[in-house]
Amino acid sequence: MSAADLVVIGAGPAGLAAAASAAGLGLATQVLDEQPEPGGQIFREIERVAASHPALFSLLGEDYGAGLELLGRFRASGARHLPRATVWQIDDERRVYYRHAAGAASIQARQVLIATGALERPVPVPGWTLPGVMSCGAAQTLLKSAALVPDGRVVLAGSGPLLLLVAVQLLRAGIRPAAVLETPIQRFAALRHLPRFAAAPGYLNKGLAMLRELRASGVPFRRGVRGLAVSGAGRAEAVRYDWRGRRREQDVDLVLLHQGLAPNLNLALSLRCEHLWDESQRCFRPRLDPWGACSVPGVWIAGDGGGIAGARAAECSGALAALAAACSLGRISKHERDARAKPFLRERERHLAARAFLDTLYRPPAEILAPSEPRTVVCRCEEVTAGEIRRLATEQDCPGPNQMKAFTRCGMGPCQGRLCGLTVTELIAESRNISPAEAGYYRIRPPVKPVTVGDLAELDV
Amino acid sequence: MFRRLPETAAQPVTVVIDGRPVRVPFDLTAAAAVLIGDGITRTTPVSGSPRAPYCMMGVCFDCLMEIDGVPNTQACMVPVAEGMRINRQVGARKVRS
Ligand SMILES: Cc1cc2nc3c(=O)[nH]c(=O)nc-3n(C[C@H](O)[C@H](O)[C@H](O)COP(=O)(O)OP(=O)(O)OC[C@H]3O[C@@H](n4cnc5c(N)ncnc54)[C@H](O)[C@@H]3O)c2cc1C
Ligand code: FES
């Protein structure tokens, strides 16, 4: 069995920055990531794109290209990287279990950093399980990692920076969406956070540039869309919505949904570290100190997995966690840790200044957080509907997600609640007139990714 | 549902999707290869309705397929390889976890 001073789970901006810093401080550092290449969601496949399709760089934009510098630092740092390694458990002794090309394995860590990033928030609207409906991030992943673009009539629907980014990336790739449908955003509520947003580096200009590019394209950009629903026999054929007082219908081949991001919590939850409800981001997140320490000793959390803050803040959190881990292993003194931390703390603050505005502006509409149409599927795996969950929450007095699991099997499919957890919490909270914090979240137990009996037999423990 | 950008040619490999040989660029995942066609990866155990990849990042499990004889494989996480057999997964098949 192998061992490392620091095992980093996730090779996105947070994990890469942490690993490069830790290795630079002399820690034996192992990165495990389930993707074939390092980069995480934002810098997906960046080294291969640079080598084989540099033309893609111009359409993906400057934020993507910026990742090469980080990848370079990581490659030069001496940190080891194991691709296609999916972590399913961290045990009480900080042994990390994973599955990779050669089978199941484990590594003993002195310190662990969870940098598993974010996932796209579920967008439970009627028809979202039909083939021909995907997330905006999925279309972007196909573009980055496979140079694939939608073939046919495509509609983007929802809200958030990633919705606009994917729309302009598709435009630059020569794809004209049939429409971009934006669900209501909170302009007035967000206004008071505008000055700080405008002071955060680059955000306002990038946002305005995307809006200009989208408008200039002439693609119908409809704002304030409600009652979104996809329909079709066996696949998406039409999208319906209310706009300016009328029900509209648009024929489609592909619908791309997006409603912002939420932390990917399953690994952290499986450790039973303390989590709290974040009202402004409308999700749960682990309780962390400024270094990224959670309530489990020796375990750090950095990047969007600790709360959505974006790629640049993720890099800073990664570097800070590496300093803290090196300090607790006695590699550097507290004094040195604090001195080296200063620029990262400052830089992170500058990027966090953008959050209040973005979180307020793009708060998902109530009808999507807790779907109002009763037949809407909430748990995609077990096909449990919003109506069923509401009914059980009130008539059967079902108090929380774990009891709901027992009643309906929601959250018990292979995705382990990743695509329904937040919706089930919101539905129970709304039906019972309690706060989401009170309703709580699914209890997540390892393995957080499916493991076979054969995998377990292979482990040399 | 998807097509390759013309300016990004890559070496093709042949994969066999539901018994039909298909030539696709070598740098796709199995799910991406299926999305060049109709995108259907499986039918659900509960209602038997068809599904296609939703997230492409390993979280939704709608891309579960039988790949080279192994059922319940997340097709969006597996790069294609010459001769790979990619089969749609029909209805109930127990995912061990
Ligand atoms: C689909 C998607 C697309 C996005 N696109 C953009 C964009 O274009 N521009 C932008 O500014 N922001 C984008 N974001 C937001 C951006 O991803 C984050 O702000 C930033 O990448 C966060 O960095 P991170 O290091 O915290 O996590 P990530 O970059 O998400 O990296 C997390 C890594 O952890 C790995 N991982 C997760 N669980 C496990 C496990 N159990 N075992 C092993 N590995 C695991 C993942 O494979 C991933 O590589 C996107 C987010 C998503 C979800
Ligand atoms: S498409 Fe979501 S897990 Fe593969």
Q: Does residue A286 fall inside a structural domain?
A: yes
* Structural tokens at position A71: 């990848």
Angle, vertex CA A346, rays to CA A341 and CA A351, nearest 5: 125
Please state, in angstroms and rounded to a whole number, the distance separating the CA atoms of residues B61 and A230: 21
Domain-located, residue B18: yes
Identify whether the C-beta of residue A120 lies closer than 8 Å to the C-beta of residue A136: yes
With respect to residue B92, please indicate whether it lies within any of the assigned structural domains: no
**A75 within some domain:** yes
**Residue B74: nearest ligand to its CA?**
2
Q: B52 and chain A: CB distance < 8 Å anywhere? A: yes
Whether residue A167 lies inside any domain: the answer is yes
Token duo for residue A300: 């750090």
Would you say residue B95 has pLDDT above 60? Answer: no
Q: Span A211-232, mean pLDDT?
A: 98
CB A190 within 8 Å of CB A149 = no
Residue A309 falls within a domain, yes or no?
yes
Contact by Cβ (8 Å): A106, A95: yes
Q: For residues A195-204, give the mean pLDDT.
A: 97
pTM recorded for the entire structure = 0.97
Q: How far apart (Å, rounded) are the C-alpha atoms in residues A101 and B6?
A: 31
pLDDT of residue A15: 98
Q: How far apart, in Å, are the Cα atoms of A104 and each of A107, B29, B95?
A: 11, 21, 17
Return the biggest CA–CA distance within chain B.
42
Q: What is the pLDDT at residue A101?
A: 83
| Of the residues A277, A309, A332, the one at which a domain ends | A332
- Asked if B46 lies within 8 A of A147 by C-beta distance, the reply is no
Across residues B3-23, what is the average pLDDT?
Answer: 93
Q: Please state the rounded mean pLDDT for residues A413-440.
A: 97
On whether both A148 and A238 belong to a single domain, the answer is: yes
pLDDT for the residue numbered B7: 81
Q: Which domain holds residue A382?
A: 370-439
Please state the domain count of chain A: 3
Rounded to the nearest angstrom, the minimum Cα separation between A216 and chain B is 23
Subunit contact B4:A450, Cβ cutoff 8 A: no
Name every chain B residue with its beta carbon within 8 A of the beta carbon of A135: 54-56
Among residues A282, A220, A283, A290, the alpha carbon closest in space to that of A248 is found at: A220
- Asked if the structure places residue A339 within a domain, the reply is no
Phi, psi of A338, deg, nearest 5: -65, -40
Tell me, yes or no, whether B27 lies in a domain: yes
Q: Which atom of ligand 1 is nearest to the CA of A165?
A: 8
Question: Could you tell me if B59 and A135 are in contact, meaning their C-beta atoms sit under 8 angstroms apart?
Answer: no
% of residues, chain A, pLDDT over 90: 94
Any atom of ligand 2 within 6 Å of the Cβ of B56 = yes
**What would the DSSP string read from start to end of A266-307?**
HHHHHTT--EEEETTTTEEEE---TT-B-SSTTEEE-GGGGS
Chain B residues within an 8 Å CB radius of A57 = none
Do A199 and A287 belong together in one domain?
no
Can you tell me the distance from the alpha carbon of A271 to that of A283, in angstroms, rounded to the nearest whole number? 18
Instruction: Say if residue A132 is in the same domain as residue A254.
Output: yes
pLDDT bracket for residue A1 (50, 70, 90): low
Is residue B94 predicted with pLDDT exceeding 70? Answer: no
Give me the percent of chain B exceeding a pLDDT of 90: 87
**Could you tell me the CATH number of the domain that includes residue B58?**
3.10.20.30
Mean per-residue pLDDT of chain A: 96
**Element holding A23 (H helix, E strand):** helix A13-24
Do residues A221 and A116 touch, judged by C-beta distance below 8 A? Answer: no
Residue type, A389: I
A307 and A214 within one domain: no
- pLDDT, position B1: 94
Mean pLDDT to the nearest integer, B18-24: 97
Q: What is the pLDDT of residue A28?
A: 98
CA B83, B89, B90, B95 dihedral sign is positive
Q: Is B63 in the pocket of ligand 2 (CB under 6 A)?
A: yes
Determine phi and psi for B22, rounding to 5 degrees. -135, 135
Q: Kindly report, residue by residue over A240-270, the tens digit of the pLDDT.
A: 999 999 999 999 999 999 999 999 999 999 9
> Domain of A151: which CATH number?
3.50.50.60
Q: Residue A455: which pLDDT band, with cuts at 50, 70 and 90? A: confident
Asked if the structure places residue B73 within a domain, the reply is yes
Q: Is residue A344 in some structural domain? A: no
Return d(Cα A324, Cα A113) in angstroms, integer.
11
Q: Which residues pair with B92 in a beta bridge?
A: none
Residue B31 Cβ contacting ligand 2 at under 6 Å: yes
Are residue A25 and residue A114 in the same domain, yes or no? Answer: yes
Task: Give the mean pLDDT of A81-90.
Answer: 97
**pLDDT computed for residue B96 by the predictor:** 44
| Rounded Cα gap, residues A239 and A255, in angstroms | 8
- Look at residues A385, A112, A364 and name the one whose alpha carbon lies nearest to residue A257: A364
pLDDT tens-digit readout, B31-73: 999 999 999 999 999 999 999 999 999 999 999 999 999 999 9
Query: CB-based contact (8 Å) between B10 and chain A?
Result: yes
In a domain, B63, yes or no: yes
CB contact under 8 A, B5 and A84: no
Bin A132: left if φ > 0, else alpha if -120 < ψ < 50, else beta: left
CA distance B10 to B27: 8
> What is the rounded average pLDDT of the residues A437-442?
97
Q: Is residue B47 part of a domain?
A: yes
**Residue B94: inside a domain, yes or no?**
no
Look up residue A446 and give its two tokens: 């390892």
Q: Answer whether residue A325 shows pLDDT above 50.
A: yes
Q: Most B CBs within 10 Å: which of A33, A52, A60, A129, as the mutation test of the B interface?
A: A129
Asked, for residue B3, whether it belongs to a domain, the answer is no
pLDDT digits (tens, 9 = 90+) for A383-398: 999 999 999 999 999 9
Q: What is the total residue count of chain B?
A: 97
For residue A176, pLDDT beyond 70 = yes
Q: Does residue A242 sit in the same domain as residue A136?
A: yes
Q: Say how far apart CA A428 and CA A384 lie, in whole Å.
A: 14
Q: Which of B60, B63, B78 to mutate to test the interface with A (most CBs of A within 10 A)?
A: B60
CB A256, CB A132: distance < 8 Å:
no
Contact state of B56 with A134 under an 8 Å Cβ cutoff: yes
Identify from A97, A141, A172 which residue to disrupt to test chain B contact, counting B C-beta atoms within 10 A and taking the largest count.
A141
Is the CB of B17 inside 8 Å of chain A's CB atoms? no
Residue keyed to tokens 């807790």: A370
Supply the range of the domain harboring residue B77.
12-87
Count CB pairs under 8 A between chains A and B: 135
Same domain, A131 and A83: no
Which range among A197-206, A210-219, A326-335, A448-457 shows the weakest confidence by mean pLDDT? Answer: A448-457
Domain boundary residue among A237, A259, A281? A259
Print burial letters for A41-76: b (CB count within 10 Å at least 16), e (below 16): bbbbbbbebeeebeebeebbbeebbebbebbebbee
Residue A240 lies in a domain: yes
Q: Rounded to the nearest 10 degrees, how much is the dihedral formed by the CA atoms of A288, A289, A292, A297?
A: -80
- What residue type is A448 in one-letter code? V
Residue A338 domain flag? no
- Greatest Cα-to-Cα distance within chain A, rounded to the nearest angstrom: 66
Q: Are residues A105 and A204 both part of a single domain?
A: no
Per-residue confidence band for B91, with pLDDT thresholds at 50, 70 and 90: confident
Domain count for chain B, please give it: 1
Using a pLDDT cut of 70, give the percent of chain A over it. Answer: 99
CA A10 to CA A22: how far, in whole Å?
15
Which one of A231, A259, A287 terminates a domain? A259
pLDDT band for position A68 (cuts 50, 70, 90):
very high
Buried-state track A170-192, b at ≥16 Cβ within 10 A, e below 16: bbbbebebbbbbbbebeeeebee
* ipTM here: 0.96
Q: Say what the pLDDT of residue A453 is.
A: 82
